[in-house]
Chains A and B, each alone.
Chain A
Amino acid sequence: MLDRFPYGKAPFVLLLIAILSSLTFALTHRSGRPAELVLAVFSAQHYGAYAAVLPKFEQQHHVKVNLQRIDNQSLEARLQSAIVANTDVPDLTEISEGTLGFFTRGPERDIGFADLSERVRSEGLDHRVVESRFAPWTSRGKVYALPHDVHPVMLAYRRDLVEQLGIDVGKLETWDDFVAMGQQITRDLDGDGAIDRFALELPRNGQWGLQTLLRQRGVDLFDAQGEAAFNCPIGVDTVVWYLKQTRSPQRIAYDPANGQSNGQAFVQALRDGMFLFLLAPDWRTYQLQADAPMMSGKMAIMPLPAWERGGRRTSTWGMTGLTLSKTSKNPELAWELAKFLYYTPAALGQRFLSSNIIPPLKEAWALPEFQTPNAFWSGQKLGAEYARLAPDVPPIFASPVYKSGMSKLDQAVVRSALYYQEHGELGLREKVAEELQRAADYLKVWSDRYAVLQDGVASNEPEP
């Protein structure tokens, strides 16, 4: 038979493998009951938390939910492609920080998400949820996603080393206090010329570190009108401060992993005591528990030092929103699932235990799970600590060029840093102001392009 096959042995074997594997797949693949709802998420933490509570929802509503986890960047690109190509999209999809503007940049008819404004009002969610958390999910006055979290930021620290050094964290009320302490403990311990202990972990080129500190001062990339907001005196002050802490000879900050907030180099530096304090939103505390279990009992958290006495002691870093597809075949069921996952206290207690993430629903903060001491964090009640700061979290506003804004802000930092290394502090403020303005102008050009598209398409559309 093998010899009679006209194209030779190798194609025959390949054909045989193809037939056998197809048969195996066909016989073993069981599709089961088709899912009534599809929920797509990008976070492993979220996936695990939802997988634990979904059976309860399925039982209550006699439905099947297909929970899918997709890489964040792929999810963003594929979802938008599916929306504009009118193909099937998940009934519910979680999207990440800075992406709503990407999905809503075009004319309104191209937005694939349902307008949730009326549902939010009728359920009273606009009062039950931390108000500032709707801002990042609002575009042109309409709410397109439900906030999953608040992500208040605290300072996590190596409690064992901080206590050894006799640092009283209660006295670190302002960033000035912190820098004074940091300059005392930042040291070359073994005399090899390289500093072995820094006070704080911050990325050299700005990135999440600068953005978190700017937000603490009430300045983000864009304001409520969608205009660049960082090119202001507070923005200049913060960048100058940042450069001094990360680049000057008296610097107190260290970047262990080229701006990455996790990974092997980061964990190793934490273990080695290369830095004592780090910016820690609630989600990062769980990441630390998972990535650095050897640090259990050696870590603790405290509120961020304020920029001025009595000022805000927190910021925000990261966010997730849940969108409902405009073309969902089961919109009411999808809405029920959204409420179940996001705003049902019982589900939120379980979710906190498997993610350390504070929900934006204020009434959930009284749940017993949020008052449980956490052994990794030296017995601190993590939930209660973060919940106390949650109402102070500053608002963030969406923009179609939000991600470009992030990279342009970093570019302004890098260019200013090069100037600082060459010229020192002389003229630094002016240089920073110039670079921030340049970045803002760049973003304006791009925003105007989107406006042309929106206006152009709107003027081409026939009157209803």
Chain B
Amino acid sequence: MQGVVELESPAEAAPEKLRRPAARPRRFHKGKAPYVFLLPYVLLTSVFFVYPFLRAVALAFYQTNGPRSQVFVGFENFVFLFHDSRFHSALGNTVTYTLCSIFLQLPLALGLAMLLNSGTSKLELRLKGFFRLILFSPNLVGPIFVGVMFSVLLTPRYGLLNRTLQALVGWGLEQSWVDDPKLVMPALVLVSLWLYVGFNMVYFLAALQSVDKELEQAARIDGANAWQVFWNVTLPSIRHVVIFVVILSTVGSFNLFELPLALLSSSNGFGPDDSGVTLITYLNEVAYRSGDLGLGSAVGWVVAISIMVFSFVQFRVARVAENE
């Protein structure tokens, strides 16, 4: 485009420059290419993100039978949700599971990461790789497989876990884990520990490997014990990763779906007395099994807002802790 400008004779170009700012054609030509390159992204985002997003906003105010028939109901879907006992169970179970993930799973993952980060000898380094693979491997098979596998392991009388408990402590042979409303959430948490603890451990391990060893040594020389070193040196050094993992874990926990669906398949993923129903299994039920995409959208918004609130609180807490 520069060349085009140069081809013009100064005599012709001068009045033109007086009428219009000189940079305008250059800006127009310069600006076109980036927009062309951006177009596929903008189109895809518009079709697959912006439009569904806006549609989901609108749908939440309709009652629907699939995409064809719909009736405007205003805020009725939200009112319905807040009066629906199954939704209350779903919200309660999801929050319980999220708290268990944050306060049980993540400390355990951090502990394992610290263990794996501690060795220095050749043998220890080899074992470290081996255990890292072992702990991470449940993630490779996915929640559906894990759910099906544990539903077999937790079978009364014939399940491996029940048989092991009976052999070790003389109790548990006939224990019905997924049929007892009091044990469904512990069973879900237990299975998810097995499934996700290695995944989170990998993040922590990567962060721990970047902690400045000299700082830790200096603290030890100054007389700090192991806990003080961890609390005052190690943890602050990996705080950004911790915040990231906590948020990731929160989002993942709010989206819990496949694991209860497979583990509690005899009760459609809900568990006895709705003890295993989560927000997403509830959403799946109302939107796809009952066909009310409007109510499904309303649930989706509640999930999204809940995640935002949780994440905001976590950010605030992290910031306060950092300032202190």
A residues adjacent to B (C-beta < 8 A): 77, 80-81, 83-85, 102, 105-107, 109-110, 194, 203-205, 207, 255-260, 264-265, 268-269, 274, 403-404, 407, 410-411, 414-415, 418, 442, 445-446, 449, 452-453, 456-457, 460
Residues of A within 8 A of B152 (CB): 264-265
Q: Interface size (B, Cβ < 8 Å)?
A: 40
Indicate whether A255 sits within 8 Å of B156 (C-beta atoms), given known contacts A81-B66, A260-B266, A418-B181.
Answer: yes
Q: Is B63 an interface residue (CB 8 A)?
A: yes
Q: Is B288 an interface residue (CB 8 A)?
A: yes
Q: Let me know if B156 and A258 touch, CB within 8 A.
A: yes
Q: Scoring B residues 21 to 33 as 1 if CB is less than 8 Å from chain A, else 0, what string do you get?
A: 0000000000000
Which residue in B65, B155, B157, B267 is a CB contact (below 8 Å) of A105?
B65
Q: List 22 A-B contacts (CB under 8 A).
A: A84-B66, A84-B67, A102-B290, A106-B68, A106-B69, A110-B69, A205-B267, A255-B156, A256-B156, A256-B157, A258-B176, A265-B158, A269-B157, A403-B289, A410-B267, A411-B272, A411-B273, A411-B274, A414-B273, A442-B86, A452-B71, A457-B69
Q: Let me know if A452 and B66 touch, CB within 8 A.
A: no
Indicate whether A407 sits within 8 Å of B270 (C-beta atoms), given known contacts A110-B65, A449-B80.
Answer: yes
Residues of B within 8 A of A446 (CB): 290
Q: Let me know if B268 and A407 touch, CB within 8 A.
A: yes
Residues of B within 8 A of A204 (CB): 176, 179
Q: Is B151 an interface residue (CB 8 A)?
A: yes
- B 29-87 contacts with A by CB, 8 A: 63-71, 73, 80, 84-86
Given A445-B84, A457-B70, 9 other A-B contacts at CB below 8 A? A77-B289, A102-B290, A204-B179, A258-B151, A258-B154, A258-B179, A414-B181, A449-B80, A456-B63
Indicate whether A102 sits within 8 Å of B291 (C-beta atoms), given known contacts A110-B66, A194-B174, A457-B69.
Answer: yes
Residues of B within 8 A of A460 (CB): 71
Indicate whether A84 sits within 8 Å of B155 (C-beta atoms), given known contacts A259-B266, A457-B71.
Answer: no
Q: Let me know if B69 and A453 touch, CB within 8 A.
A: yes
In angstroms, how far is the closest chain A Cβ from the Cβ of B10?
43
Which of A85, A102, A410 is the most central at the interface, judged by chain B CB atoms within 10 Å of its CB? A410
Residues of A within 8 A of B84 (CB): 445
- B 163-210 contacts with A by CB, 8 A: 173-174, 176, 178-179, 181
How far does the alpha carbon of A371 sit from the alpha carbon of B65 in the complex, in Å? 47
Residues of A within 8 A of B151 (CB): 258
A261's nearest neighbour on chain B, judged by CB, is B266
How far does the alpha carbon of A84 sit from the alpha carbon of B84 in the complex, in Å? 27
A450's nearest neighbour on chain B, judged by CB, is B65
How far does the alpha carbon of A410 sit from the alpha carbon of B86 in the complex, in Å? 14
Indicate whether A205 sits within 8 Å of B288 (C-beta atoms), given known contacts A264-B152, A269-B158, A453-B69.
Answer: no
How far does the alpha carbon of A134 sit from the alpha carbon of B68 in the complex, in Å? 29
Q: Let me know if B158 and A452 touch, CB within 8 A.
A: no
Which residue in A403, A445, A449 is a CB contact (below 8 Å) of B292?
A449
Residues of B within 8 A of A207 (CB): 266-267
How far does the alpha carbon of A82 sit from the alpha carbon of B20 in the complex, in Å? 58
Indicate whether A106 sits within 8 Å of B66 (C-beta atoms), given known contacts A407-B267, A456-B71.
Answer: yes
Q: Let me know if A442 and B63 touch, CB within 8 A.
A: no
9 interchain residue pairs of minimum CB distance: A106-B65, A456-B71, A84-B66, A259-B266, A414-B273, A414-B272, A265-B158, A457-B69, A265-B155
In angstroms, how far is the closest chain A Cβ from the Cβ of B184?
11
Residues of B within 8 A of A81 (CB): 66
In angstroms, how far is the closest chain B Cβ from the Cβ of A359?
29
Which residue in A85, A107, A258, A260 is a CB contact (below 8 Å) of B67?
A85
A413's nearest neighbour on chain B, judged by CB, is B272
How far does the alpha carbon of A274 sit from the alpha carbon of B29 in the complex, in Å? 82
A84's nearest neighbour on chain B, judged by CB, is B66
Residues of A within 8 A of B267 (CB): 205, 207, 259, 407, 410
Which of B63, B154, B159, B173 is the most central at the interface, judged by chain A CB atoms within 10 Å of its CB? B63
How far does the alpha carbon of A255 sit from the alpha carbon of B156 in the complex, in Å? 9
A446's nearest neighbour on chain B, judged by CB, is B290
A460's nearest neighbour on chain B, judged by CB, is B71
Which of B80, B159, B266 is the most central at the interface, judged by chain A CB atoms within 10 Å of its CB? B266
In angstroms, how far is the closest chain A Cβ from the Cβ of B292?
7
Residues of B within 8 A of A274 (CB): 157
B151's nearest neighbour on chain A, judged by CB, is A258
Q: Scoring B residues 282 to 294 as 1 if CB is less than 8 Å from chain A, else 0, what string do you get?
A: 0000001111100
How far does the alpha carbon of A442 sit from the alpha carbon of B83 in the complex, in Å? 10
How far does the alpha carbon of A88 sit from the alpha carbon of B50 in the complex, in Å? 28
How far does the alpha carbon of A460 sit from the alpha carbon of B62 in the complex, in Å? 14
Q: Let me know if A80 and B71 touch, CB within 8 A.
A: no
Which residue in A77, A269, A442 is a CB contact (below 8 Å) of B288?
A77
How far does the alpha carbon of A110 sit from the alpha carbon of B179 in the complex, in Å? 38
B270's nearest neighbour on chain A, judged by CB, is A407
